[in-house]
Chain A
Amino acid sequence: MHPKPISDLAAIVRLAAVAIGALCLFATTACRTPDVQASASPHLYQAMKNPTCVTREVALPKEYDHGSSAKQALRLTLVNVKKPVSDTSYRVFLNKPEATGATPAADDHCLGSLSFYGLASENDFVLDAGQTLDELRKDAGYKPSETVTITLVPVAGGEPIQLDELQLVIPN
């Protein structure tokens, strides 16, 4: 059976409108990452490029001394990370919002990785952020600020990480 020819200009316009609407809907849903904070986030564009990556801005503790050249302990806690459906693990990057699954773990900004094992369906994870931030601070090009970005990247194409919160604290 041959498709019905579209001869009506109005029908063409309606079809075009539907198509544009669908594209807009796709752009605002399929490319949206679940944990990018606000639509005005400067990381939104990057998040749309890497839809499985999650980037958040996290405040440094007030006690953190930006001017110090000494080593400073700093702990990143990922609060209530949901166990992924797939068997993916995640890499964690500091101040690397452009990180993707192709960014190597040897990157200067990589804090480490995490995998699920055990019974819990959600759990906190604790990583050392101090070593990486210390090393970045030695870089003359790095300007410390009161916030850093944390980017969570699934390895090998897994689903985006789901979690409640990211915290940076100075451990006791």
Chain B
Amino acid sequence: MKKKTRRDFVKDAGMFGGAFALYGCSTTGGGSGDGGNPPTESPTGPPTEPPTEPPETQPPFNGVRVRRSVSTLDPNGPELTAYRTAVTRMRALPANDRRSWVAQANIHRNSCPHNNWYFLPWHRAYLHRFEQICAEMSGVADFALPYWDWSTTPSIPSAFWGNGNPLNHSPRAISQGGEYDQGSIGLAVVNRILATTDTEVFMSSPSTGQQVPGGTGQFEGSPHNHIHRRTGGDMGGTATAALDPIFWLHHANVDRLWAAWTGQVFSQEDWLNFEFTNAFYDASGTAVRHSVASTLSTVGLGFRYEQPGSASRLVASTVPSTPGDGGFGFQAEVVAGPPPAVVAGSTTVRELTGGEARIESLRTASTRIVPNAELRTLLAQRRAVPSPAAEFRLEARGAGAGDDPGVAALPGPAQNTGTPRLTIEGVEEPAQPATVRVFLNAPEATADTPVTDPHYVGSMSFFGADHADHAGAHAGLAYLFDLGPCLDRLETAGLYSVATDALDVQLVIVPVDGQREGFETSMSAPNKISISYVQ
């Protein structure tokens, strides 16, 4: 039987029981299935700053939450402050409140599927409901769970350490600054896993029950398991793992990589229609149920990732360098897109405005991409046409899918199944430790331009570059970015018109330690920059 992509599935959702089945997150009242003895929470020291009293009940959030990398967030910024507040308040709830910290951890203790094909969808539902509770507890309606991209930040972020910090957790076997095995979580490993077309390698193997082992896929068995085991302490066992606040960010990254994977999910109906045996709980503490099918669209659940795979999408470039074409050494022909199966239309003829063979630190390098008619059409459609997921969510609402605040009518901004993808290939690491920030249509961007700027697309960091060299015979690295969020911001702000404007891509070298003064380095210009539209 031919397997379906997630997008195929969304398009065909009606075949699997209609709206109610796809977003079949029915309330069940009272809830069962996560009973049992609560694990004993390890002492972390009393939280100090965040308030413990519950906030006013929040109105339902009808937008799409955007999960961002924790490494791009200010430890004292609003996102992590909200998470600290939520954790503190959940810990202060009585144990019989299903939203309490221990009760949430108990769901994992008693019901988590591992070593089988329910692993990914179950954890997606689990995080989705936890995120809603965090929004309620923090008083931040659009709260989005950050993710910890351990491939590029291979130690637990500093925001999760420190006495009195509610995000710290004791015991952990690993100490602050302790690193994880690159052979298990590194970019080269993750990209190899992302490249697999074998569904069982990525999603683990079929089984006959939620907690019946079926076979552990490489994704679950290598990076996922390694993070748990190496972190140790409560994270090291299923009964207690979710007591550690880093658990949720670890699994958000696992979920992000699933969202980035372009392989085909299982098509067996006993998988798609499987309803998890345990209840989850929404922001009000009401029990809700999920089927596997209900988890297959992140947007359908009301969240997405700022950069689904870009930050850790690193592949050995197969594009030969073609210097001497008058620009950065970029190729100048129409760029072939990613594998044909996922490309609706590609891509562009590119003009160059740089004229330099190298990119110098603290200077902005720019190259222009002029979308061809096909790409302009796709970009315009992306803005104009609501996606099948959006339509379906509206239908689900109309069918009385319940008071799930994550399943609501979509707001105005387009949600489309296609993704405009920026690909930068043949990237060489700067001579000094640095990251390279990528902006769109921001010729004035400098190293001081913040990542909160609407023109900011993402960053290229170089951890793991040695692996890419190894695999690609020094062909350089390739980075993929989802341009969608940036294009949305610019178009909404009137800073970009899909009908008329070219797309200027700026690269800015930024020192890793933030010390601009006296910083000098350079890097070879990438071989190729292209935009494709992936469906």
Report A's interface with B, CB cutoff 8 A. Answer: 73, 75, 77, 87, 89, 91, 104-106, 108, 110, 112-120, 123-128, 130-131, 135, 155, 171
Which B residue's beta carbon lies closest to that of A88? B229
Given contacts A119-B238, A126-B215, A128-B192, contact A114 B222 (CB under 8 A): yes
Contacts of B197 in A (CB 8 A): 73
Contacts of B196 in A (CB 8 A): 128, 131
Which B residue's beta carbon lies closest to that of A135? B471
B215 and A123 contacting across the interface, CB-CB below 8 Å:
yes
Which B residue's beta carbon lies closest to that of A118? B114
Chain B facing A: main interface SS: helix
Chain B: minimal CB distance from A126 (Å): 5
Is B475 close to A, CB under 8 A?
Answer: no
The 17 sampled A-B contact pairs (Cβ below 8 Å) are A75-B198, A77-B215, A105-B183, A113-B183, A113-B184, A115-B225, A117-B228, A117-B238, A118-B216, A118-B225, A119-B238, A125-B217, A126-B215, A126-B217, A126-B218, A128-B201, A155-B181
Most chain A beta-carbon neighbours within 10 Å: one of B224, B229, B471: B229
Measured CA separation A116–B213 after assembly (Å): 12
Report B's interface with A, CB cutoff 8 A. Answer: 114-115, 181-184, 186, 188-189, 192-193, 195-201, 204-205, 211, 213-218, 221-222, 224-226, 228-229, 232, 236, 238, 466-467, 470-471
Which B residue's beta carbon lies closest to that of A74? B198
B466 and A113 contacting across the interface, CB-CB below 8 Å:
no
* Contact among A108, A118, A131 for B195, CB-based, below 8 A: A131
Chain A: minimal CB distance from B93 (Å): 28
Chain A: minimal CB distance from B120 (Å): 14
B226 and A126 contacting across the interface, CB-CB below 8 Å:
no
A171 and B188 contacting across the interface, CB-CB below 8 Å:
no
Measured CA separation A117–B467 after assembly (Å): 26
A128 and B470 contacting across the interface, CB-CB below 8 Å:
no
Chain A: minimal CB distance from B94 (Å): 29
B192 and A171 contacting across the interface, CB-CB below 8 Å:
no
In the A-B complex, the 10 residue pairs with the smallest Cβ-Cβ separation, listed nearest first, are A105-B183, A118-B114, A115-B225, A124-B215, A117-B225, A114-B221, A128-B196, A120-B213, A128-B201, A117-B228
Known: A113-B183, A128-B193. 20 other contacts (CB 8 A): A87-B229, A87-B232, A91-B183, A105-B186, A106-B470, A112-B222, A113-B226, A114-B222, A115-B222, A117-B225, A117-B236, A118-B114, A118-B238, A119-B114, A120-B115, A123-B213, A126-B200, A126-B216, A128-B196, A128-B198
Contacts of B232 in A (CB 8 A): 87
Which A residue's beta carbon lies closest to that of B113? A118
Measured CA separation A118–B207 after assembly (Å): 15
Which B residue's beta carbon lies closest to that of A117? B225
A127 and B467 contacting across the interface, CB-CB below 8 Å:
no
Which A residue's beta carbon lies closest to that of B112? A118
Chain A: minimal CB distance from B32 (Å): 21
Which B residue's beta carbon lies closest to that of A71? B197
Given contacts A112-B218, A112-B222, contact A130 B229 (CB under 8 A): no
Contacts of A118 in B (CB 8 A): 114-115, 213, 216, 225, 238
Given contacts A123-B215, A127-B218, contact A112 B470 (CB under 8 A): no
Which A residue's beta carbon lies closest to that of B205? A126
A171 and B183 contacting across the interface, CB-CB below 8 Å:
no
Chain B: minimal CB distance from A77 (Å): 7
Contacts of A171 in B (CB 8 A): 198-201
